Each structure stands twice: as structure tokens, then as C-alpha cells.
């Protein structure tokens, strides 16, 4: 009798162990599949415009009824829309708005990059041109040979040397031949309006447009 109970107990342990292992494997596979799907959905050129539209449609982030607006007084809009945001992006947007008063262009660009699993260190936008190249990125000046070998493309971070701090935005579309672009469209924060997120098209020939960061 004792021997039979021992054998039954042993078989039960083996069965439970196999079930746990199978469950763990299935869970890992499910997470891995979701991870890949999110990664494909959050490339900068796709995720940038998505976030812009998300904020513009949010009643918690109004600005003149046109643009999404994120300031330190409306930063809770990030949390209200967070279910549709990648968590790392939402945190960076919120922290940027709280720390500087409004969602800055750098905060927006860093959030979009983080959603695509690209770490972009924080600095003033102009300093991406003047300081060392951020880790994991290539810095290309539009008048350099690098602009031929690494032409501006969707997903890059465009850089301007205007104003006191400069400007950075996420490239979503390049108009013209990749080696002879005449304009490009970006998703940006704090560009045409303080704290606003929106989509705009800029001239490639603009003298303040200096280059871009690319992966």
C-alpha cells in the first residue's frame, strides 16, 4: 500500500513538473510574440505620428482646439492616454513636461526612440550636433560625405541649429530621391508651438537644418 502511494506521489510530481515547464514555455512564447509585434509597431516613423494623433484627439491635452498640448499643468494627460502608449515613452513624456514646464522636443524624440528600444541620452537638441555622438547612433551632417552613404530616411532624428537650444524631430517621410531630398516630414514636440505635438514638413535646404542621427 505504502509502495503504491509512493509511486502515485512520484507520478504526480512528474506530471506537475511537466505541466509547469509547459506553461512556462507557452508563457515565454506568448511574451516573445507580443514583444516582436510591439517592436514592429513602434518604429519611430510609425509611432511618432501615432502619438501625435493620440494627443491631438485627447480632451485632456487641448491647445486652441488644434494641437495636442502637454505642459506641467496637463501632464496627467500622459497617464490618461498611457494605455495606448509604450510605458517608457509615457514616462519620458511626463518627466520632460514636469521638469521643463512643457513637453520639449528632446523629451518627445527620446520617448519615441525608447518605444522603438533605442536609448537616446538627454541633452539640449543643439548639443546632439556639438557634443560627442550619442551611444548607439551615427551622427550625419547634411553637407558631409556621410549624407551620401547614410541618406536621411524615416526613423532618423533630424537636427536643427536654431535658437538657443536647437531642435530635434522624428523623420516620418522624405520627399524626393533619397540622395537628393528637397523636403521631409517629421513628428515633433515643441516645434511650431510651445508644448505642442504635431506633424510638419521642412525644407532640406533650410540653413538651420544641419543633419541627423541614424541607427
Tell me: the pLDDT tens digits for 78-112? Answer: 888 888 888 889 999 999 999 999 999 999 999 99
pTM of the model: 0.80
The C-alpha atoms of residue 140 and residue 125 are separated, in whole angstroms, by 14
Q: What is the pLDDT of residues 193-211, one digit of tens each?
A: 888 999 999 999 999 999 9
Higher pLDDT, 27 or 192: 192
Centre a 10 Å sphere on the Cβ of residue 175 and count the other Cβ atoms it contains: 12
Q: Does domain 43-214 have CATH number 3.90.1720.10?
A: yes
The C-alpha atoms of residue 126 and residue 160 are separated, in whole angstroms, by 7
- Identify the sign of the CA torsion 137, 141, 142, 143: negative
- What's the confidence (pLDDT) of residue 63? 65
Domain boundaries, the chain: 43-214
| Mean pLDDT value of segment 20-30 | 30
- What's the confidence (pLDDT) of residue 22? 30
Q: What is the pLDDT of residues 35-83, one digit of tens each?
A: 334 444 579 999 999 999 888 888 777 766 566 888 888 888 888 888 8
Residues 56, 85 contacting (CB under 8 angstroms)? no
Exposed/middle/buried for residue 88 (C-beta within 10 Å: 0-12, 13-18, 19+): middle
Phi, psi of 27 (to 5 degrees): -65, -45
Residues 167, 191 contacting (CB under 8 angstroms)? yes
| Mean pLDDT value of segment 180-196 | 92
Residues 6+ apart with CB under 8 A from 199: 49, 52, 172, 185, 186, 187, 188
Share the mean pLDDT of the chain.
Answer: 81
8 pLDDT more than 80: no
- What's the confidence (pLDDT) of residue 187? 97
26 pLDDT more than 70: no
DSSP E strands in 121-179: the ranges are 138-141, 157-160, 167-177
| Mean pLDDT value of segment 145-154 | 94
Confidence of residue 10 (pLDDT cuts 50, 70, 90): very low
34 pLDDT more than 60: no
Amino acid at each position: 500500500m505504502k509502495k503504491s502511494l509512493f509511486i502515485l506521489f512520484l507520478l504526480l510530481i512528474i506530471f506537475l513538473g511537466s505541466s509547469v515547464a509547459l506553461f512556462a514555455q507557452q508563457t515565454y512564447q506568448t511574451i516573445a510574440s507580443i514583444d516582436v509585434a510591439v517592436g514592429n509597431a513602434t518604429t519611430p516613423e510609425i509611432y511618432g505620428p501615432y502619438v501625435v494623433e493620440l494627443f491631438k484627439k485627447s480632451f485632456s491635452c487641448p491647445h486652441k482646439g488644434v494641437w495636442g498640448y502637454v505642459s506641467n499643468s496637463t501632464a496627467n494627460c500622459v497617464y490618461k492616454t498611457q494605455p495606448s502608449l509604450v510605458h517608457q515613452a509615457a514616462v519620458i513624456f511626463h518627466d520632460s513636461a514636469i521638469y521643463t514646464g512643457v513637453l520639449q522636443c528632446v523629451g518627445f524624440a527620446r520617448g519615441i526612440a525608447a518605444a522603438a528600444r533605442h536609448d537616446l541620452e538627454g541633452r539640449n537638441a543643439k548639443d546632439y550636433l556639438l557634443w560627442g555622438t550619442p551611444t548607439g547612433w551615427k551622427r550625419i551632417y547634411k553637407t558631409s560625405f556621410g549624407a551620401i552613404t547614410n541618406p536621411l530616411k524615416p526613423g532618423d532624428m533630424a537636427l536643427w541649429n536654431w535658437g538657443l537650444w536647437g531642435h530635434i524631430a522624428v523623420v516620418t517621410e522624405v520627399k524626393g530621391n533619397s540622395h537628393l531630398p528637397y523636403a521631409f516630414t517629421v513628428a515633433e514636440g515643441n516645434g511650431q508651438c510651445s508644448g505642442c505635438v504635431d506633424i510638419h514638413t521642412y525644407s532640406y535646404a533650410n540653413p538651420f537644418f544641419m543633419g541627423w542621427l541614424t541607427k
